[in-house]
Structures are given as structure tokens and as C-alpha cells.
Amino acid sequence: MSSTQEIQSGLAEILEEVAGVTPADATPEKSFTDDLDVDSLSMVEIATAVEDKFGVAIPDDQLANIKTVGDAISFIEKNQ
């Protein structure tokens, strides 16, 4: 089980790798598309990386509901 803080920093690492997001910018209130300029194909890559890192698969219908970094953190927390 990863702590919320561990999930946030792990997610920030993924965002930096996949989309070039500065880790300090990957805060819970940020919208992936509006604030971090992450497009839909990059979201698919992020979902794959989340599964590798946290062992949490994000089904496509759930992925569509993940709008912010906070949404992703919550999803991982609940499903890990």
C-alpha cells in the first residue's frame, strides 16, 4: 500500500516522463487537459504506467472520469 504522498510523487514522476510536466506542478487540483496539457493519447500512456507502478489497472470507462491529478490519486488509493 502506497501512502497518498507516495502516490502523488509517483504520479508526478510518470507525468514528467510521459508529458514533461514539472513535478512541482503535478498538484491534486490540476486538470490533466486544461492545466498540464496532457492529451488523450498521453492519458493512455499514463494509465499503463500507473498499472506498472502501482498495480492498479484503470479501465477505459474509469479513465474518462479522471480529470485531475487528485482524481487519479483517489482512484489509485481506492483500488490498490
Partner 1 sequence: MSASTSDVVVTGLGATTPLGGDVTSTWEALLAGRSGVSRITDEWVQEFPAQLVARLSTDPADAIDRVRARRLDRSQQVAVIAAEQAWAESGAADAGVAPERIAVVFGTGIGGALTLLGQDDVLEAKGPKRVSPFTIPMLMPNGPAAAVGLAIGAKGGVHAPVSACASGAEAIRWGLDLLRFDRADVVLVGGAEACVHPLPMAGFAAMRAMSTRNDEPERASRPFDKGRDGFVLGEGAAALVLERADSAAARGARVHARLAGAGATADGYDLVAPHPEGEGAGRAITAALRDADLSPADVGHVNAHATSTPVGDTAEAAAIRSSLGEHVLVSATKSQTGHLLGAAGALESVFAILALREQIVPATANLDDPDDNANVQALDIVRSEPRRATLRAAVNDSFGFGGHNIALVFTTA
63 binds partner 1 (CB under 8 A): no
Q: Considering only residues 24, 41, 60, 65, which one is a binding residue for partner 1 as defined by CB under 8 A?
A: 41
Q: How far is the CB of 3 from partner 1 (least distance, A)?
A: 27
CA count, 13 A, side-chain hemisphere, 50: 26
Q: Nearest CA to 48 among 27, 63, 33?
A: 63
Could you tell me which stretch among 4-12, 24-32, 44-52, 67-75 binds partner 1 (CB under 8 A)? Answer: 44-52
Planar angle of CA 39, 45, 46, nearest 5 degrees:
85
Judged by the rule CB under 8 A, the positions of this chain that interact with partner 1 are 18-20, 41-42, 44-45, 48
